[in-house]
Amino acid sequence: SWREERAYVAKRLEEVTRSLAGKPEVDPQALRTKKERLEAAVQARAELEAQLGRLEERIDRLERDLAQKREAEKRAAELVGQVGVWEQLAEDLKGHKFPDYLLERLQLDMLARASELLFTLSQHRYRFRLADGVYHVEDLWTGAVRPAKTLSGGETFLASLSLALSLSEHLSRGRLGALFLDEGFGTLDAEALELAAEVLEALPTQGRMVGVVTHVPELAQRLPARLVVEKAPQGSRVHWEG
């Protein structure tokens, strides 16, 4: 057994010797120096890995801080916008700006309804327009826009009637149940008078009582109830008809 083991060792020694043939001999001191360098490199690597871990944690923290900063900037921009709205509102509430704004909105709403009525009463010829606080009419037959005061007598009455009816509709929302219209129908031709009568006849069905003061028999006969005033030397007398 010893001889077999000795032969094996001798064989391995020959193989190692052949593999080392031509290679420089290893200096034990140089080997120790390289081992020391290797150990130092391993230690430096461990330190760098630890530093890398700390840097990665810092990066995560900075990314969270950056996300919070962006959210804060977004919120700040929203607050700046809100402040701008409140500042504009405060500016608009100074003086008469806000009441003027409300009045303009109300006026536009009323004028829109009056324009519809005038369009019907004028046989689809006129509509109202508001320019710089002044009422104008648009003549759909000619395409011209002109001040309302340039209308003829009958047309002026139709425009006034449209505005009065629009105003009454707005005010009658639970507050106004009656509307009285004084004379002016005598300036209308037969066709315009017929249109005006149809509009007036439709008003009571909308929850309002309409009183018409007129000397035009054709219109008076259209009314369902009439309080007739008769003049006499002894004085005026009144009685109901209808």
State pTM to two decimals: 0.50
**Rama region for 23: left / alpha / beta (φ>0; ψ in -120 to 50; rest):** beta
Q: pLDDT in tens for each of the 242 residues of the chain? A: 899 999 999 999 988 888 878 777 778 888 889 899 999 999 999 999 999 999 999 999 999 999 999 999 999 999 988 898 888 878 777 766 777 777 778 888 888 989 998 898 888 889 998 887 788 999 999 989 988 888 887 788 888 888 888 887 777 665 666 778 776 777 777 777 777 777 777 665 556 677 888 888 888 888 888 889 988 888 899 988 87
- Backbone phi, psi, residue 101, to 5°: -65, -45
Q: Which of 128, 155, 144 is nearest to 136 (CA)?
A: 128
Given this model, what pLDDT does residue 61 score? 94
Scanning the structure block, which residue is given the tokens 């700040």? 76
pLDDT of residue 192: 75
Query: Are the CB atoms for 187 and 153 separated by under 8 Å?
Result: yes
Contact 135, 121 (CB under 8 A): no
Instruction: Give the whole-angstrom CA distance, residue 67 versus residue 177.
Output: 63
Axis-axis angle for helices 153-171, 97-121 (nearest 10): 120
What are the respective helix, strand and coil percentages of the chain, to the nearest 5?
Answer: 65, 15, 25
**99: which 2 tokens?**
């009441």
